[in-house]
Structure 1
């Protein structure tokens, strides 16, 4: 009978800390992890400062007016795998974020804190270089905190509790520059700060928006500027087209629920102003499912592998919200940046909840795209009309006379005899547009059809057909290409009238239908055109 003996196996300090630098944090998610800690400490003011000295050294300082910590609490907070928070709804979750998020970008992390009613300041520092040199888990404690950090804390939380987190020896935020303090490096840092502002505005929207009662209000400032809430669902402008609150039971048997809501945003031209349309960030990249835990966005604009992002769903945004009770069920990761849905929920979303909103968003998008294409097509065929007009007499062909413009009855005289047909009879939408006429009402969804426009043999080309959208529209500014395609369809229609008889008219009609069907199939894999409805106005 064997016996087991427990041996304490302490991980190598330096290798462990260096390894945990590569947990996959983006700069924005790293800063957000620290803001989570501030909110978890009941702060209602969080001030972030990111600056660079003339040598290029970057310093990040995040101060809040939260509950603060005494010496023992600070030591616990700096421990890798710090004690579990008493509030399970806390935005801070695993006791690793402060350390892993910070050291992902800096080699020296300091935290200065004080409890309410105490003038005592406590400072603890993890210095990776010191740990590597000593090969010990040595947390550096100081009774003389960093003066700049103390000044920052006193500005944000004067004469009360609060905490400030400071990054120095920042080595992973910017690339290697020949002049670390020069303009290129400064520009790169400014870009990082701008991206961070947008990120914070989105993920803490419910906290930042004073009108939103789902979360308590928190003021976040970045380099002296207030971070303004950005609502992906554009409340008051978008339409809620579907909503479900689903009760569920956790693995432990506790009751919980999650909510799913589908919003369709207006098309760009439907917004009250250009500024509001710009604020909505209308682009294909912004469509998808936005996942919230405890009113904090943790997963941004994605279809979770259900669908590809494509222009027809640009207007659709889905809100998925749950609280801490479902953390284990959704496999929340260490960075609180993604979840894994179980198969049943994933299938329910894909096959039951989302189809109707997707169809409606698709319909509204196509309405806007249709208007854009019709607008773009105006004038695009002028050169074709002029060229064909110059060649009409030389080309010749059948003689066509309108007998009843109301019914479309015409008489066609060609080399095979005299025949009666029905053709669309119309007028020019603009002077000279008598041979090539773009239209969105071509019969039976055909790509093209012969017509008579102001007594001229003409072709009506369907702007709503996929071939027009995917082949014509990207080339509307290329006159030679448009003339070549227009000439081909006009020639087919003139040739049809020259060769038709009573017995073959139906065959020609069937041929146009079959050609339209084949072309529809052939262009399926071509990209959708970029129109005004697709343009990213962010």
Structure 2
């Protein structure tokens, strides 16, 4: 049977099968997050040799209208722009380039905008522009040619001297994520949230570039009605290995992996100092998610944390972070996602990690042991041997549940404690359902606690978190003693008074 099996399949010729225009819709449905999409555009700017990149939100009063990414890179001629706007357009990537697939500009942009316009000029060519409108793209890959006068005006807008200016402007219109008819308050909340998230994402993914003196990313907001720049600040590097003192004196260490397919790879293994308050330790995600491998391709972070099936994340490995430099060429050992937000590794890599050693003969397995021990000993020195608890469940914000899991060990096999709003008799603030494993909050106080805002499953995270911390031990006992009953009565009295005060404030703010 084996001799009769052939890898080559006999054929009688071939035929050209161009993609259906609906392929454009599939291309833009790859799950690009907003921050990842912007980062993909910045990658193109870096490949173009840009020194400055500006991410520019344009608003007209209360309404956000467009988002632009402007760079001072080498720009593109008309022919180069046509290639860049072609789906899968073939172009030669230089050594060290961040681009790979030829789809990022189109798929990232049209995942989040109804139309993307690109205007560019080189030092020796006039401004040229192309525009993809999603509806026209789906109908037949029809790409619009931008009027030369508009292309000139857009480049002039971002430069005081158009004769010397070179670079590229990418403009998104019909941005799906922008708030609709929400007024000034909603727009301000959106900008505050998304700019903070974008700044953190770019600061992390591109921290090695931002640490250089000749590269900057600026995020700005302009009100076009008045011409006023209402926000303008630089993105700071967020180095996931930027601790001042190592958590273990003998680290970092560099371990060598022998990979037959790609040669020697290196693991630069670090141990963070315990209980660090630096933002690059905690702000980039939960400690369960940020331990593990940090994979870089050409100095660009393409995966932040995770063990890639090498092992499971554990609380006691929270201090372990390992930088891995990927080979610049694509390989079967490391398969980068199109969005550059993760890497699939082959079994060859996992097997090699188990045999990795440094120049002194220390093994990677010994590193993992030291990282585990450093975390445990830090807890002991602080006198912290926390008892296992029943885990929190539905009704508590997932981010809060993650924080609790990092701080407290869980009792194995126990049903979690949920927090629910219910119509409770009387004016009590909360009740305890032991059999149902639930903390019940009185629905009559919900509007006051939420300040009149609409509620949801995980609303009121502060009050729910505090109640969980106050009450979780109650569920570990069969019945309450007299001291516990007195404590519960005290909490009821104080919380009811606080809820009434919140209700009075709400009534004064919104009188009928």
TM-score bracket for the superposition, by shorter chain length:
0.5 to 0.7
Q: Could you tell me how far apart the structure 1 residues matched to 2:342 and 2:241 are?
A: 20
Q: Could you tell me how far apart the structure 2 residues matched to 1:174 and 1:187 are?
A: 11
Q: 1:282 to 1:364 in 2, by over 3 A?
A: farther
Q: Could you tell me how far apart the structure 2 residues matched to 1:53 and 1:332 are?
A: 39
1:163-182 to 2 correspondence within 5 Å?
163-170=168-175, 172-174=176-178, 177=180, 179-182=181-184
How far the C-alpha of 1:320 sits from its partner, in A, is: 0.9
CA contact (8 A) 1:84 1:94 kept: no
CA contact (8 A) 1:256 1:325 kept: no
CA contact (8 A) 1:219 1:226 kept: yes
Q: 1:75 to 1:276 in 2, by over 3 A?
A: closer
Q: Is 1:370 aligned to residue 370 of structure 2?
A: no
Q: Is 1:80 aligned to residue 87 of structure 2?
A: yes
Q: Is 1:349 aligned to residue 359 of structure 2?
A: no
Q: Which residue of 1 aligns with 2:189?
A: 187
Q: Could you tell me how far apart the structure 2 residues matched to 1:100 and 1:376 are?
A: 48
Q: Could you tell me how far apart the structure 2 residues matched to 1:129 and 1:9 are?
A: 22
Q: Is 1:243 aligned to residue 254 of structure 2?
A: yes
Q: Which residue of 1 aligns with 2:7?
A: none
- Structure 2: runs of 5 or more not aligned: 1-9, 221-231, 357-362, 388-408, 415-466, 479-512
Residue by residue over 1:81-138, the C-alpha shift from the partner in whole angstroms, topping out at 9 and shown as x without a partner, is 11232414310111111101100001111111111134x11111111233456x3533
Q: Could you tell me how far apart the structure 1 residues matched to 2:274 and 2:218 are?
A: 32
Q: Could you tell me how far apart the structure 1 residues matched to 2:315 and 2:50 are?
A: 41
CA contact (8 A) 1:65 1:157 kept: no
CA contact (8 A) 1:287 1:301 kept: yes
Q: Which residue of 2 aligns with 1:297?
A: 301
1:500-519 to 2 correspondence within 5 Å?
none
Q: 1:63 to 1:158 in 2, by over 3 A?
A: farther
CA contact (8 A) 2:257 2:355 kept: no
Normalising by structure 1, we get a TM-score of 0.62
Normalising by structure 2, we get a TM-score of 0.65
Match of 1:325 among 329, 332, 353: 329
- Structure 1: runs of 5 or more not aligned: 212-216, 378-464, 486-538
Q: Which residue of 2 aligns with 1:494?
A: none
Q: Which residue of 2 aligns with 1:209?
A: 211
How far the C-alpha of 1:351 sits from its partner, in A, is: 6.7
CA contact (8 A) 1:153 1:163 kept: no
Q: Could you tell me how far apart the structure 2 residues matched to 1:157 and 1:345 are?
A: 51
CA contact (8 A) 1:107 1:127 kept: yes
CA contact (8 A) 2:66 2:171 kept: yes
Q: Which residue of 2 aligns with 1:230?
A: 238
How far the C-alpha of 1:52 sits from its partner, in A, is: 3.6
1:75-224 to 2 correspondence within 5 Å?
75-118=82-125, 120-132=126-138, 135-145=140-150, 149-154=154-159, 159-170=164-175, 172-174=176-178, 177=180, 179-210=181-212, 217-223=214-220, 224=232
**Secondary structure of the equivalent of 1:125?**
strand
**Secondary structure of the equivalent of 2:313?**
coil
Q: Is 1:23 aligned to residue 27 of structure 2?
A: no
Q: 1:112 to 1:483 in 2, by over 3 A?
A: closer
Number of residue pairs matched?
379
Q: 1:241 to 1:144 in 2, by over 3 A?
A: same
Residue by residue over 1:36-68, the C-alpha shift from the partner in whole angstroms, topping out at 9 and shown as x without a partner, is 111111112111113443463441111111111
